[in-house]
Amino acid sequence: MKKDLVSISDLSGADIGELFRTVKELKGRPRHGDIAKGKTLALVFEKPSLRTRVSFSVAWGQMGGYVIYLAPGDIGLGKREPVADVARNLSRWVDVIAFRTFAHKTVEELAEHASVPVINALSDGEHPCQALADFQTIREIHGTTKGIKLAYFGDGNNVCNSLLLLAAKMGTKMWIAGPKDYKPKKKYLDMAAKDAEKTGATITVTENPDEAAKDAEAIYTDVWYSMGKEKEAAKRKTLFKKYQVNSKLLAHAKPNVMIMHCLPAHRGEEITDDILDGPNSVVLHQAENRMHMQKALLYRILGR
């Protein structure tokens, strides 16, 4: 594995296979004693978080390590002190940094200047830990992610980007349905196309939600306005309306379709309550797997 996980593109197929094997091994062995004993994980967060903060903290704690949490505004990243200086200082005290920020280039910059591993805990560009945990969830339920039809509805955002990059590496048939101006950026689609050639994955972008949902084995959605985009909420609520995950959309999918959401959900916007809380929903399974996958990631990063 590379030193940092900034993007899904940092991982090879072999790395991903190794992570899935490690999750399986660690799930059967909940105590991991002293793997991280005497080591510190810094969580540097410029945005709020429930799942990422708690799952990283619990994972590291179960491995015997110590966590330090730096909340939005605590260190004045890029204002009180340049990102590179923060990276160099943190590297003298801590062993791993998990970083949540706005611009994707900020996490790239932190990783470049830190001598310790940096994990992207969400940027405006990607959410790699989320996508890895989600593919773990699909594997546990379907046995594989190869050839599975995964249909994503709504904003071509950070979660969508990491999912499509991972789909391309895993041979998944991914569909993305959303309004014309909110498709994933060409940069991500081009990166995915290169991997898809080798794995047989397909990435299809459409404005037609019914076509995307047809015979899908997994339906995924995320908020229509991510953290930092709240000012666009009213405009987006109108534009995204026809991409809502509801019972009408589900009628096009396979009867045992998995309903996925990274959470937090804006109930009644991108997804209705009956579907989010319904029998096909695996959202809490996804949330639990964040912890297992990040534990596997930290385990590998420590060179185990």
Instruction: Print burial letters for 178-190: b (CB count within 10 Å at least 16), e (below 16).
Output: bbeebbbeeebbe
Residue whose token pair is 């970083």: 99
Picked from ligand NVA, ligand CP, none, the partner binding residue 50 (CB below 5 to 8 A depending on kind) is ligand CP
Are β-strands 149-153 and 173-177 bridged in parallel, bridged antiparallel, or unpaired? Answer: parallel
49 touches ligand CP by CB under 6 A: yes
Residue 227: CB minimum distance to ligand NVA, A: 4
Residues contacting residue 56 through CB under 8 Å, at least 6 positions apart: 41, 43, 67, 98, 121, 294
- Which amino acid is located at 131 in the chain? A
Residue 226 interacts with, from ligand NVA, ligand CP, none (CB under 5-8 Å by kind): ligand NVA
Q: Is 130 a catalytic residue?
A: yes
Sole binder of ligand CP in the list 193, 205, 263, 265 (CB under 6 A):
263
Rounded to whole angstroms, how far apart are CA atoms 217 and 175? 11
127 catalytically annotated: yes
Contact with ligand CP (CB under 6 A) among 2, 50, 187, 274: 50
Binding mask 127-166 for ligand CP (x = CB under 6 A): ---x------------------------------------
In the complex with ligand NVA, the residue whose CB is nearer, 90 or 223, is 223
Distance CA 71, CA 299 (A): 25
What do you get for the CA distance between the two ends of the chain, in Å? 11
# residues contacting ligand CP (CB under 6 A) = 9
Q: Is 249 in the site for ligand CP (CB under 6 A)?
A: no
Asked whether the beta carbons of 120 and 129 are under 8 A apart, the reply is: yes
- Which C-beta is closer to ligand NVA: that of 226 or that of 294? 226
Closer residue to ligand NVA, CB minimum distance, 94 or 276: 276
CA distance 182 to 155: 6
Query: Would you call 142 a catalytic residue per the annotation?
Result: no
Catalytic residue numbers?
100, 127, 130, 222, 262, 290
Interface residues toward ligand CP, by CB under 6 A = 49-52, 122, 130, 262-264
